[in-house]
């Protein structure tokens, strides 16, 4: 038999899980997603979320409450008479009335190895910290922020040059398969639940615009991890002749003794960092331009050794 599922998610990351649950034969009785947001150059067009659009393609009813403070929204949720809610990057902290508004509760697909990196930006924070491993976890939700007991885990290695975008895709696919397994086991009555450890708790704060600028005074490894964590979005950046340039790819480049941090030490684009080592910038993008490999970027914007990047 299939479960009656309410799916709750918003970005591209969540779509594979919605699709996988539907393909597995479950009855997705409704989808909840963040309300359409202004977009376009003037912000005049309201754009539906990726999950909203995916649900409509399947003919699934979509609800977009701004929150669940209104009792009418809570009552509508309960009236769906679902077995379980599945939550993947929905974007709201759910009240207890929603967490207990289905027969079996709510299960969340979270992109970290809990209790490490609870919160909004676990993918970027894991890379920025230089973690060698992360994963997807399915947990039963409670009132805390990613504090509930864990049901299933899928572990993934983080390659030394892997970007946030690459890890995002790998975790999204892994999370879809893991949630399908979790729902099958929940339906069969054999889904285990293990309380999270009390040690090792870290919070993955939302990425702030103020921290996207590259600080070349930091060690090269940290600079490299910062760049790849924020690629492709929102993108780490520096200024060149007063113009902002995003860096979408980098590599560690060896020793750079005697050079001030931020100085281009050779061609193409090895930049000195604070520990006497260098990071090579391999993919860049000017504001309003398209992403370019370093060689193509330098053909249009020559940057000679000795140039200081700010």
| Of 247, 229, 249, 230, the residue nearest 238 (C-alpha) | 247
Instruction: Check whether 44 has a pLDDT greater than 80.
Output: no
Architecture of domain 4-203 in this structure: 3-Layer(aba) Sandwich (3.40)
| Of 182, 203, 185, 189, the residue nearest 137 (C-alpha) | 182
The ranges assigned to domains in the chain are: 4-203, 209-300
Taking the C-alpha atoms of residue 237 and residue 170, their distance in angstroms, rounded to an integer, is 25
What does the block give as tokens for 14?
């969540």
Q: What string of DSSP letters covers 132-164?
A: SEEEEEEEE--SSSS-SPEEEEEEEE--TT--H
**Residue 291, annotated as binding a ligand:** no
**Residue 115, annotated as binding a ligand:** yes
Q: Give me the mean pLDDT over the 75-104 stretch.
A: 97
What's 258's DSSP letter?
Answer: T
Q: Give me the mean pLDDT over the 188-212 stretch.
A: 97
- pLDDT tens for 103-158 read 999 999 999 999 999 999 999 999 999 999 999 999 999 999 999 999 999 999 99
**Residue 33, annotated as binding a ligand:** no
Taking the C-alpha atoms of residue 127 and residue 17, their distance in angstroms, rounded to an integer, is 23
- CA gyration radius, the chain: 22
Cα atoms in the 13 Å half-sphere on the side-chain side of 299: 4
Architecture of domain 209-300 in this structure: Roll (3.10)
* In the block, residue with structure tokens 């060689």: 295
**Residue 113, annotated as binding a ligand:** yes
């Amino acid at each position: 038999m299939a479960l009656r599922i309410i799916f709750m998610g918003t970005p591209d990351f969540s779509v594979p899980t919605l699709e996988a649950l539907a393909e597995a034969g479950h009855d997705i009785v409704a989808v909840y997603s963040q309300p359409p947001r202004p977009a376009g150059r003037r912000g005049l067009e309201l754009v539906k979320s990726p999950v909203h659009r995916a649900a409509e393609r399947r003919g699934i009813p979509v609800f977009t409450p701004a929150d669940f403070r209104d009792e009418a929204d809570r009552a509508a949720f309960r009236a769906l008479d679902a077995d379980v809610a599945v939550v993947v990057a929905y974007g709201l902290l759910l009240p207890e009335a929603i967490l207990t508004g289905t027969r079996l509760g709510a299960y969340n697909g979270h992109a970290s190895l809990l209790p490490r990196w609870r919160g909004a930006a676990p993918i970027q924070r894991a890379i920025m910290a230089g973690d060698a491993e992360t994963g997807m976890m399915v947990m039963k939700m409670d009132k805390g922020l990613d504090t509930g007991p864990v049901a299933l885990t899928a572990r993934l290695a983080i390659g030394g040059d892997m970007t946030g975008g690459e890890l995002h895709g790998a975790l999204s696919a892994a999370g879809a398969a893991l949630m399908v397994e979790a729902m099958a086991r929940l339906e069969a009555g054999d889904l285990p639940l293990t309380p999270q450890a009390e040690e090792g708790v870290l919070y993955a704060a939302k990425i702030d615009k103020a921290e996207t600028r590259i600080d070349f005074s930091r060690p090269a490894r940290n600079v490299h991890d910062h760049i790849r964590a924020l690629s492709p979005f929102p993108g780490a950046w520096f200024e060149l002749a007063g113009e902002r340039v995003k860096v979408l790819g980098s590599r560690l480049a060896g020793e750079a003794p005697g050079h001030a941090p931020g100085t281009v030490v050779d061609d193409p684009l090895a930049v000195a960092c604070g520990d006497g080592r260098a990071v090579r910038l391999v993919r860049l993008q000017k504001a309003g331009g398209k992403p370019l490999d370093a060689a193509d970027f330098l053909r249009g914007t020559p940057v000679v050794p000795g140039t200081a990047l700010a």
